[in-house]
Chain A
Amino acid sequence: MCRVGALKSKKYTHPSKVLYLMLPQQKGHDNSGFAMVMQDLGGVFAPYKKLPLLSYAGNSASVEKIHNYMQNKGFTLRFEWSPQTKPQAGLDIALLEHYNFEVYDYPAGYQNAEQSAKENLLTDTRLALRALTAENGSAFVYSFWPDVLTLKEIGNPADIGVYFNLWQEDTDFCAKIITVQCRQNTNYAIVRYAAHPFFLQGYTVLANGENTFYVKNKEFQSSLHRGYIGFESDSQCFLYTLHYLQRELKWPLEYYKHVITPLPFQDLLQREDKNVLLALRQSLPHLEINGPNTIIGVLPDGRVINVNDSKKLRPIVVGSDGGTVALSSEVCGLNVVLPDRDQEKDIYPNEREMIVVDNNLEVTRWKQ
């Protein structure tokens, strides 16, 4: 099983904190990888919040390819940063040559473009870079979006932390929202793209679970949006559905839960809003999920959410000390990073609940 975690803080937080969140849970995850998405960035990236940040890793040839592509498309490199690595003998990590985080300015023609046009450009560019570097896994292009950074690698999370110097807290590399997961996809092939968190156009999702409606989800999603690709993990489907409902259909957030885990008919038909709920259920049965899951999501406005499968078959706990809200598969992780919180107030969401953590760190929970 995966273990998942998320931190949302009022202050900028260094990634060492998510390592401390996850390591106590290492009996559950199998130490096969480390992946995190950092949003609302501070430190060295703070001056560039409005500009798109490209996160990728790969060999030298692919870096050159990417740079050429970006140059040809009119992007201007404004800032580049790579973690200061600490190579040591005996580290369990599958290294690539380069881990690059590059801030670009938009091409001249897009400087005054509508926001939606800019966002489409970013998505198309990331998809093009991914296609460009797909051969032999020469590079992995994870995200290209303002104020979002993605780092993923195969290996032991503690060793990956050592290599990227993540154990050493500093103020250069930090964010207010960090989502993290410490396991590679062990059901299928080990592919870096299969490691959650997954990111698309402002939406981040990571999950602990198994989506047994994966094939149904995938077959349906494949024709909904050009960005719904990959499907290296069945959990990507959770992201694409969230993105589709929120960004494409512009439905209020509560309907995410109604689509992925609709109420049983006998309950649904008792509701005042049964006509709408039935319409959703019959229109989007292929986005329903089944199997055991707990899903953590981050929305473009910075809210962090959690929903669970309809039988509540996977664990999750939410705790807060007032300055930081943490979501974790196991409470032992919370005890390490939030030792002073009031444990009585920890939330163990149930199968029909949605948890929403807003930007004031107020946690609301409501029943579907």
Chain B
Amino acid sequence: METVTVNELTANDLPWRIEWDPCRCKLCGSCVAACTFRAIHAAVEARSYIYSPGDMPTPVEGERYAVPVIKQTATVQNHCVGCGLCEKTCPNSAIRPRRNADSRWEIFAREGGSPIKRGGRANLNASDRTFDKIVVGRISQMTDPSLDAERHTFDILAPFGRILPADKMPLSVDPDGKLKLDKPLPPVRWIYPLIFGDMSIGALSPRAWEAVCLAAACLNEKYNLPVRMCSGEGGMPLRLLKSKYLKYMILQIASGHFGWNRIVKAMPEMQEDPAGILIKIGQGAKPGDGGLLMAAKVAPHIQAIRGVPKSDLLSPPNHQGLYSIEESVQKMFLSMNAAFKFRVPVGIKTSATASSVSIYNNLLRDPYHIVGGYFIDGLYGGTGAANEVSLDHTGHPIVSKIRDCYLAAVTQGRQGQIPLWGAGGVGMTGNAAADAFKLICLGANGVSVGKILLQLMGCVGNDHGRCNSCNTGLCPTGITTQDLKLVRRLDVDKAAQNIVDYVLAFDQEMRKLMAPIGNSSLPVGRSDALVATDKAVAEQLKIPYAC
């Protein structure tokens, strides 16, 4: 008989339980080899049996023997995250993780006095989405015709750069009666309204990052869709900095300034200007917190790109010396705009917050006309590593914040002057086009996505607590790890192709949404195209309620 020890961790305390069928298992060991978390292991268990040889019950103990088994490890460090790689690799369908409804994970996972850390995005109430309470409800029927998504031309482009109001543009009429520009305007790039967002080469494996780059390049070069990719904080390979493909990249600078030593040194050798610069003030997944790259992922090539030793890399929550939005604008003006001689648009990204409108108002009133975009990252944005308490309990939903900022600009007659880009949960249910379209109707110029790109590459994580282990360096799909053995699991070409296919479909889906409302260019701020099926949402967003 075993002693009952209630405080000992057992498999039924964990968020996921392994179901293993000994009848189907051929003990090949593939599952154990595939599990990067060491959440299962091969073990030996004792077995015995009792039999009764006569007509009457006469129990006799048979032989005792040992059997090899696959067993779940029951420790905090090596708990099953439900990634399902064991199931994927098992040739006999003998093993799978099963969600444990009675998990006690949240109770004991802070072992050692350390907050729970994970990757992914907010899992709390993740299925209760504002996006899904909005419908494109103003369909062109009798009073005006729908367009034909297949036949008509559609302009699906969005600005990144500071746009001057018409009466402030340096225009004059020449003797031929034509307008001419007397001075250059601030740089504005017209790009696809879907940015591959802000995932660093430390958070992603080099192969995964390369796959996103490949997809961006392919979409530009082969399909003529000017999709841009943001580097995230952490620099990028010199080879890319010096290549012509730099024009597809938005360089991010965040509070840690990681990677910028290399970027600055590469400037004289750059063939092309980058697509833009994005100054990251905050991130939707962990607002008020800086970037975090766990030491486990700071492999030699990451140390080289970032110029750092192997250790946990924590970006400060604020830019150093930064205590006001005015200073932020100054900082952009002095460093980023000047660095590229005012040829490259510079934008700011903050996490969505109750104070986003104040921030936007300040940016709009910037007298230097140097703020090229306001990127707002909402509550359901993803991250490679964060404290779970930040992920689940801090942040601000993106939908109403985009609307608030747009309407703040409308009140001042300044809509469109600083493009608004929204992120944070776009494509959470798989359809990024629908989410993007709704945000655009509410006032966004475009959107940024991250998590769905990972999922397209093969990430198995979801918003119901599955995997979310990007922080561990043990990503079972080779996407968010720097372990070369794991990285080899990722087929770069297939990953890139999946992203390309998705964006091509996204483009078609955008047309399928623009055509029924009769618009051939993006309906930025066309809130009358939307209805809400929830009264509170309708009231907050100032769109009609419908039921």
Residues of A within 8 A of B (CB): 187, 209-210, 212-216, 219-220, 222-224, 248-252, 254-255, 262, 264-265, 273, 275-276, 278-280, 282-286, 288, 290-292, 310-311, 313
Decide yes or no whether B216 CB sits under 8 A from chain A. Answer: no
Chain B interface, number of residues (Cβ within 8 angstroms): 43
Most B C-beta atoms less than 10 A away, residue of A276, A279, A284, A313: A279
C-alpha spacing A238/B137, complex, angstroms: 25
| CB-nearest residue of chain A to B179 | A276
- Which listed residue, B181, B415, B521, touches A288 by the CB 8 Å rule? B521
Q: With A213-B526, A282-B163, A292-B145 in contact, is A311–B520 under 8 Å at CB?
A: yes
B155 and A282 within 8 A (CB): no
A249 and B166 within 8 A (CB): yes
- Give the distance to chain A from B178, nearest Cβ to Cβ, in Å: 7
| CB-nearest residue of chain A to B144 | A210
Report A-chain residues with C-beta under 8 Å of the C-beta of B153.
Answer: 264
28 examples of A-B residue contacts, CB within 8 angstroms? A210-B143, A210-B518, A212-B518, A212-B519, A213-B526, A215-B527, A216-B524, A220-B415, A223-B410, A252-B173, A254-B177, A255-B179, A276-B178, A276-B181, A278-B190, A280-B166, A282-B416, A283-B416, A286-B416, A290-B519, A290-B521, A290-B523, A291-B518, A292-B144, A292-B145, A310-B520, A311-B147, A311-B520
C-alpha spacing A255/B173, complex, angstroms: 11
Decide yes or no whether B185 CB sits under 8 A from chain A. Answer: yes
B178 and A273 within 8 A (CB): yes
Complex interface residues of chain B between 113 and 133 (CB less than 8 A to chain A): none
Query: Apart from A219-B525, A265-B157, what are 14 other A-B pairs with CB-CB below 8 Å?
Result: A212-B144, A213-B519, A215-B527, A220-B416, A223-B413, A252-B179, A265-B190, A273-B178, A275-B181, A278-B188, A282-B163, A282-B190, A313-B144, A313-B145
Report A-chain residues with C-beta under 8 Å of the C-beta of B143.
Answer: 187, 210
B525 and A286 within 8 A (CB): yes
Decide yes or no whether B324 CB sits under 8 A from chain A. Answer: no
A214 and B528 within 8 A (CB): yes
Report A-chain residues with C-beta under 8 Å of the C-beta of B147.
Answer: 311
Query: How does the 8 Å CB contact mask read for B386-430 relative to A, with 1 for contact and 0 for none?
Result: 000000000000000000000000111101100000000000000
Report B-chain residues with C-beta under 8 Å of the C-beta of A292.
Answer: 144-145, 518
- Which listed residue, A220, A282, A288, A291, touches B413 by the CB 8 Å rule? A220
Decide yes or no whether B159 CB sits under 8 A from chain A. Answer: yes
A212 and B165 within 8 A (CB): no
Report A-chain residues with C-beta under 8 Å of the C-beta of B171.
Answer: 251, 276, 279
C-alpha spacing A133/B79, complex, angstroms: 76
A284 and B155 within 8 A (CB): no
- Give the distance to chain B from A305, nearest Cβ to Cβ, in Å: 15
| CB-nearest residue of chain B to A224 | B413
- Give the distance to chain B from A78, nearest Cβ to Cβ, in Å: 37
- Give the distance to chain B from A282, nearest Cβ to Cβ, in Å: 5
Report B-chain residues with C-beta under 8 Å of the C-beta of A223.
Answer: 410-413
- Give the distance to chain A from B511, nearest Cβ to Cβ, in Å: 14
**For the complex of A and B, 7 pairs with smallest distance between CB atoms:** A223-B413, A210-B144, A215-B528, A291-B144, A290-B519, A219-B410, A252-B177
Report B-chain residues with C-beta under 8 Å of the C-beta of A264.
Answer: 153, 155
Most B C-beta atoms less than 10 A away, residue of A214, A219, A248, A310: A219
Report A-chain residues with C-beta under 8 Å of the C-beta of B415.
Answer: 219-220, 286
Report B-chain residues with C-beta under 8 Å of the C-beta of A310.
Answer: 520
Decide yes or no whether B167 CB sits under 8 A from chain A. Answer: yes
C-alpha spacing A290/B525, complex, angstroms: 13
B179 and A251 within 8 A (CB): yes
Decide yes or no whether B44 CB sits under 8 A from chain A. Answer: no
- Give the distance to chain A from B172, nearest Cβ to Cβ, in Å: 10
B526 and A215 within 8 A (CB): yes
Report B-chain residues with C-beta under 8 Å of the C-beta of A252.
Answer: 173, 177-179
Query: How does the 8 Å CB contact mask read for B147-171 relative to A, with 1 for contact and 0 for none?
Result: 1000011010101000111110101
| CB-nearest residue of chain A to B190 | A265
C-alpha spacing A213/B520, complex, angstroms: 11
Report B-chain residues with C-beta under 8 Å of the C-beta of A265.
Answer: 155, 157, 190
B144 and A282 within 8 A (CB): no
A212 and B145 within 8 A (CB): no
Report A-chain residues with C-beta under 8 Å of the C-beta of B180.
Answer: 276
Report B-chain residues with C-beta under 8 Å of the C-beta of A255.
Answer: 179
A279 and B526 within 8 A (CB): no
Decide yes or no whether B80 CB sits under 8 A from chain A. Answer: no
B144 and A209 within 8 A (CB): yes
Decide yes or no whether B212 CB sits under 8 A from chain A. Answer: no
- Give the distance to chain B from A286, nearest Cβ to Cβ, in Å: 6
A284 and B520 within 8 A (CB): no
- Give the distance to chain A from B315, nearest Cβ to Cβ, in Å: 33
Decide yes or no whether B34 CB sits under 8 A from chain A. Answer: no
